[in-house]
Amino acid sequence: AQSVSQHNHHVILSEAASLELGCNYSYGGTVNLFWYVQYPGQHLQLLLKYFSGDPLVKGIKGFEAEFIKSKFSFNLRKPSVQWSDTAEYFCAVTGSSYKLIFGSGTRLLVRP
Amino acid sequence: EAQVTQNPRYLITVTGKKLTVTCSQNMNHEYMSWYRQDPGLGLRQIYYSMNVEVTDKGDVPEGYKVSRKEKRNFPLILESPSPNQTSLYFCASSFSGAQETQYFGPGTRLLVL
C-alpha cells in the first residue's frame, strides 16, 4: 500500500536558519509528488509539485524540493527561513488519478 | 473569486444525530474529495468523486456517505455520528484528478459529544 512518512513532526528554527523537511514515500510505480502548506488560519495550498523532468523543483516563497528516486524521497528545503514561514507542511504522493496520500505533517515554528 | 466553500465551519453535535457538511466549488472541477485531519495522522481521504454520479471510497470511509448530483457540490453525510468522528474535515477539488493541484476549502471543525 502507498504510504508517506514525514519524520520531523515539530521543527523549531530561528529566522535565517536553513530548513530541510524529510519526506519518504512507499510506492512502486510512477509517482507525482507534492508539498502543501497550511499557514495559521488559512487554507491548505500548494507549495510545489513534481511530475517529471528536473528532479529539483522550485516552488513559491523560495522553497524547493529534490526528488531522489533511489531513496524514495522528496525533501523540502529553504536556505533561509522567515517568521512568516511558520506553518504546517504536508508531503503528498499519488500514483493514480483518484487517490492522494498525505504524510502526517510537520509543524514548523520560526522564532523571530 | 475561484474557491471551495464549506459549511458549517464549526459544528458541535451529539452522538447519532445525522448531519451534513456541504462543499461547493465554482471552478468547474471534475474531481472532488473529502479528507479528515487528525493530530499526528495528517490528512486521510474519506471519499472522492471523479465526476457527477461517480464516487468511491478513500482510506477511511466507514461512517460516512457522499453524493455527487451536481458538478459543483459534494456533500459529506454522517448518518449516525460517533465521538471518533470528531475531527477537522477538508473538502478539495481539482480539474480532473488527484495528480493535479488540489484546491482546499477552509475546513469544518466537528465535535461529536
Are the beta carbons of B89 and B30 closer than 8 angstroms? no
DSSP β-bridge partners for residue B2: none
Which of B31, B42, B106 lies nearest to residue A90, judging by beta carbons? B42
Report residues of chain A scoring pLDDT below 70.
Answer: none
Q: How far, CA to CA in Å, does B108 sit from each of A28, B7, B39, B95? A: 34, 7, 15, 23
Please tell me which residue of chain A has the smallest CA distance to B93.
A98
Q: What is the pLDDT of residue B83?
A: 97
Contact A36 B40 (CB under 8 A): no
Per DSSP, the residues of B24-42 read EESS--SEEEEEEEETTTE
* Neighbouring-strand partners of residue B90: B35
Question: Nearest residue on chain B to A31, judged by CA atoms?
Answer: B99
Say yes or no for a CB contact (<8 Å) between B42 and A51.
Answer: no
Segment B41-48 shows an average pLDDT of: 94
pLDDT at A29: 80
3-class DSSP string for A14-38: ECCCCEEECCEEECCCCCEEEEEEE
Q: Note whether A97 contacts B58, CB cutoff 8 Å.
A: no
Q: When comparing pLDDT for B4 and A95, which is higher?
A: B4
Across the range B2-17, mean pLDDT stands at: 96
Contact pairs from chain A to chain B, CB under 8 Å: 62
Please tell me which residue of chain B has the smallest CA distance to A104.
B42
Identify the CA nearest to B92 among candidates B32, B28, B30: B32
